[in-house]
Structure 1
Amino acid sequence: MDMNYNTGYVEVVDISINGQMRIKNFVGASYYKGGEIIDFKVGVINLYPSPLVFSDTANKLTAIGCDDTASLITIFPLAVGGAQTSACTTVCINGMINGSCTGMGCCESSIPKGLKTIYTLTSSYGNYTDKSVSVFSPYSYAFLAEQGTFTFNVHDLNDTSFKNKTQNNVPVVVDWFVGEDETCEQARLNRSTYVCQNNTNCTDFHGAVGYHCSCLPGYQDIDECASPHNLCSHICTNIPGSYKCSCPEGHRGDGLKNGTRCTSNHSRFVMGLSLGVTFGVLALLTMIWMSFTLYTRNKLKQKREKFFQQNGGLLLKQRLSQHPGTMESPKIYSLDELKTATNNYSEDCILGKGGYGTVYKGVLSNGCQVPLLVYEFISNGTLYEHIHKNKGVTSWLTWANCIRLASEVVDAFAYLHSAASIPIIHRDVNPPTYY
C-alpha cells in the first residue's frame, strides 16, 4: 500500500490570530483497469505532536469517483472517544451536475472532533467491473477539503492531473491552540508558562485539551505586521503592543526599510570577490601597460642607437673630436632637440618649402635664432675626397661617372643662367662637407 504521506511535516499556507491555519493537502487515490486495482495511494496527514487538530467545522471529507466509498480513518493518537471514521459513497449516472456533491460522481461527509492524524483512502464495491460505471472514469480520489474551496466538475472524473491540482489548490483547515494538555484552570497555576496576559480572557479549547486567549471587551489584538506602514523590509514578528523586524537565515542587517535592511552573506562574499578580481585585473593590466611602454621605449632607444652607428655616428663623433671648439665643427642635434625647437614641427613654424624640403623657424634651448641647415650624417666621405681619392677612400666614381656628374651640373647651371624666364645667377657652388 503506497502512502501519499507528509512524513511529519506540513506546509502552512495561511495563519490567522483567530486560532486557525491552512495547510497543503494530501490526496488518497486509486486507479482500476479490467476489474483490477492498478495503482493505490493513501493520503496521510500527521499533526502530532504539534498543538494542532483538524477543524471539524471548516473541513469536509470529499470523494470523487463512480463506484467508490471514500473513508477517513484516525488511528494514532486516538481521537476523543476512541478510533473515529468518516465515509461517503459515490455513483455515476447520466445527468451528473457540475457544482453538486451529493453522491453522483462526488460526495461529502463531516469529520469527528479532535483528529490529529488522518488517513484518506478509497475502495470500490464493484471494482469498476460494471461497464456502465467504467465508461465514466477509472479513477477515484479521497481528501479532506476546506468548505467552499472545492467545486465539483464532471471533467474531474477523467482529469489525470486532478490529484496534483487538488493538493496545491485545495487547503485543509486546522485549529491551533496553546497550553497543550492543560485547561485554563490548570494553566493559571503556573504563571511562568501561562500565555494569556493582561487584558485577555482564557477559554478552554473543546476540540482537544488546551486553551485559547482572546481580548477582553473593548480591546483588540492589533497585528502591526499586517499594516502596510510597518518598517520591516523582510521578516516582521508581531509582539504584544509592538513588532520586531529581522532578516532571513543567511542574511545580516537590522531588517528595517529605513535602516541597513538585509544583505545576503553570499552576496557580500560575491561582491568582495568581484571587487578583488576587478582590482586584480586592473593591477595586472597596469603592469602589462607599463611593461609594454618600457619595452617600446627600450626598443626605440636601441633602434636609434643602431641607426646612429649604421650611419657613421661614431665616425662623426670621432671627426668632431679632432676639431674641438672650432666654428666649422658641426653640432649633432638629437631628434628630440629638433622637435622641441620647432614645437614638434608645427605649421606655425614653417617659413617656406622648396625642392630640398621644408624650412622651419626654430628656437634652440639656449634661446638662439640662427639660420642652420640640418643634414642627416652620411659616412661615405666628401665628394672632393671621392673625386681625388684622398685618405684612402675607395671611390665608386669611375671616369664615366665623373663626366656624367660634370655634364649634369653644367646643364643645371645652363638652365639657371639662360633657360629660366628670370635668370638665376648662383654664386656659391661647392660640394657639401659631408655627403
Structure 2
Amino acid sequence: MGGTYNKLLVQVIWVGVIFSGMATAALAEAANGSALLNCPNWCGDVEIPYPFGIGEGCYLNKNFSVNCTKSWDGRLRPQVGDVIIQQISIQGQIDMFMNTVEVCNNGSGLSKNFQSTRLRVSSNAFTISNTQNLFIAVGCDTYAFLYGNQNNEDFSMGCMSICQNQSIVLNGSCSGMGCCWLEIPERLSNVRLEIYTNSYRNHTKVLNFNPCGYAFVVKKQLFMFSPIYLSSLQLNRTIPMVLDWTIGTERCKYAQLKTDYICGGNSTCDDPENGYGYRCQCKKGYEGNPYLPLGCKDVNECLNENLNNCTSPKRCINTEGNYTCSCPKWHSGDGRKDGESCTLNLGLVKKTAIASGVGFIVLLVSSSTWMYLIIKQRKLIKLRERFFRQNGGVILSQQLSRQENSVQIAKIFSTEELKKATNNYHENSIIGDGGFGTVYKGVLSDKRDVAIKKSKLVDKSQIEQFINEVLALSQINHINVVKLLGCCLETEVPLLVYEFISNGTLFEHMHHKNGPSPVSWETRLKIAAETAEALSCLHSAASPPIVHRDVKSSNILLDGNYTAKVSDFGVSRLIPLYQIEVATLVQGTLGYLDPEYLQTSQLTVKSDVYSFGVILIELLTGEKPLSFDRPEEEGSLAMYFLSAIKEDRLSEILEQNLGPERNKMQLKEVANLARRCIELKGEDRPTMKEVTAELEGLRKIDNRSWVNVGSNSEEREYLLGKTSDSYKFDVAIKSSVVYDSMKDHTMVTFDGGR
C-alpha cells in the first residue's frame, strides 16, 4: 500500500516538474536563449544558454561549467557540480533535483540515528531560491536541521514534527504534527541537510505507521502534504527544487565599472534580492540572451496583437525597441487603445464650410439671405456631427476599420447619398409603413435598387447593441436573408439600407384580395422551407446567434421566383454565446408573439420558432393570425388551430383548393409540425434546424409517394431525416394544451397582422 502512494507522490512531483519545465521552456524560447558561437546549445533536451556552457571556452567561468554526461537510461543529462539540471532560465533560475535524507527504524532499532546530504555547489553564484522553495521535515518523531552560509557566515535552522497517532495528522497541513516547514531565507548557499532522532523515542511509539523521518528542500508548488507520506516516502531519493544564480559577487553599481561586466547591448543590469551578484535583462522592446554582446534583438510588436495597443493591427509600425500606431484616412488621433484612439475628422468639412461662408460674405456682404444660408449650413453640419456621434458612428467606424479587408463590410452612407437615392424621401418612394417605421425604395449612384428603413424611434441607451447588430447582420450572406448593406448615422434616428426585393410580401400574396394570384401549396411549402432555413442560419450559423423577434408574413419578402427573403431586423437581438436567453422589453406583433416571452420577458431562439409556427398555420389556413372580423373564439388563429386539432376538425380550417388529394398527407405533416412549434413551453418546441430538416424532407418526397403511405414509410422516414421520431403523434390527438391563457395576455403593438 505504501509503495502505491509512494509512486503516486513521485508521479505528482514529476508532472509538476514537466509542467514547470514546459513553462520555463516557453520563457526560454521567448527569450531566444543561446550559447556562444561554435558552442553546444543543448545537452539532451535541456537548453544551455550563456553564461553557462559545455566545454572549455564556452562558459563564463568555472562556476558556470556544465558537464553533459549519459545517465543510467542512456539519456544526456547536464550537471553543475553534482547537481542534475532540469532547466536553466535566462531569468536567473535553475530547476534541479536534490537528495532527501531519512532515518529509519527497521523494527530492531535505528539503522542510523543521523544522516545528512550536501548541495555541492560551493560558489556564491548559486543560492537556494527563497521564493520558490520550502524546507520540509516529515515524521512523528523527527527533528531536522538545514545548514548553510549566509552573507559569508554560518547559518542554521531547524524544525521538529511530533504526533502520537495518525488520526490527528491533517491533510495539507505542515504545522508540526506529522509535518513541519520553514521558509528559506535570502542569500542561503552551500546547503547541508541533517536529520536526528536520538533525542526522541527512535520512532518506537509510532513504528506501525511512521518508521522513518525525512527532510528535504522542495519546490513549493510541487508538494502538498498527505498523512500517507508518513509511511510512503522511503523511495523518494531526490526531490525537485530551484536554485537562483547571479554573475559575480558585486552589485550593478560596482560591477558596471569593471572590465569583466558582461551585460550586452540593449540590456540593463538588475540587483536581485536573493543573490550576491547581478543579473542582466533585455530592455523593454527587446528579447534574447542579454549575456551575449548582441543577444538582445528588437521585438516586432506588430506581428503579435497582444504586444501592441494599436486600434488596428494593420496600422502598427515597428521601430527599434518600440512601435507606433497610425490612423486611417479622414481620422485623427494616435491610433492607440490606451491613448486618443482614432476619431472621424469632421473638422475638415467644418473648415471648408466656414471658408466658403467667409467667401460668400466678402462677395455678397450686403446680402442677408446668403448669411442666413451659411449659418444654417454650419448648424446642419454640427447637427449631423452630433447625430453621428450620438448614434455610435465613432464606434462603428473603428469597428469597420478593423474589418476593412472583409468582403462583407457594411458601408456608412451619408445623408446626401440617401436623399439623392430617394428623391429627398418623396412620398412616391414609400413602399411600406408599419409600427416601427417607414420603408423607401431608392436607387444608389451605382444603379443598385435598395430599401431604406427609417425607424420612428431609437433607444439611445442601446447604441452599442445597435452597432453590434449592424456589424453582425451585415456579415450574414444567405440567399434567404435580405442583405443589410449599411446605415446612415447623420440623422436623429439611424437609417438602415437593405437590398431591394421586388415581388412584395408573403402577407400581401396571402391576404390581399386584389393582390397577386393565389399561392399554390407547392410554393407555400417552398416558402416555408426557405424561411425556416434563413432563421436556422440566424440561430445556428451567426456568431453570436441572432433572434429576429418579429417573425411574421409581412416580414417575408418574395422575389420574382417566389424565393423567400427574411427581412426587417429592426427589433432583432444578439444572444451572447455563453447565454441561452436574454431579458428584454417585450416587442413583436400580436398574433405571432410567443406567450412564454410575453409572460417572462426572457427572449430565446424558441421565440422565433413560435412565430414561425403561426406562419405555418397561416399558410395552411389562408387566415390572418389575428382578426376581429372572425368570431371571438376564432380571433386568435393559433388558439383556433389548436382547438380544431383537439376536436378533430383540421380539415374544416384548412384553406380550400390547396391541391390534389395526394397533398393531404403533406398538409397533415405540416400541421403536426406547426403544432409542435407553438407549444406553450419553449423547451418543448423543435429548433429551427430541426424544422428546416422536416420541411426539406417533405419537399423531396415525390407526390406519388403519398398515395400509398404504408408502402413508402421507410422512404418517408428517410426523407424527413427522422427528425420527427420523438414527435410521432397524429394531428387529431386530443391535446389538453390550448392557450386559454392567451386571453389574459397584455396587449402589445398591433398592426393588423402586418
TM-score range, shorter chain: 0.3 to 0.5
Higher relative contact order (CA 8 A, sep 6+): 1
Structure number with the higher helix fraction is 2
Q: TM-score, normalised by structure 1?
A: 0.45
Larger Rg: 1
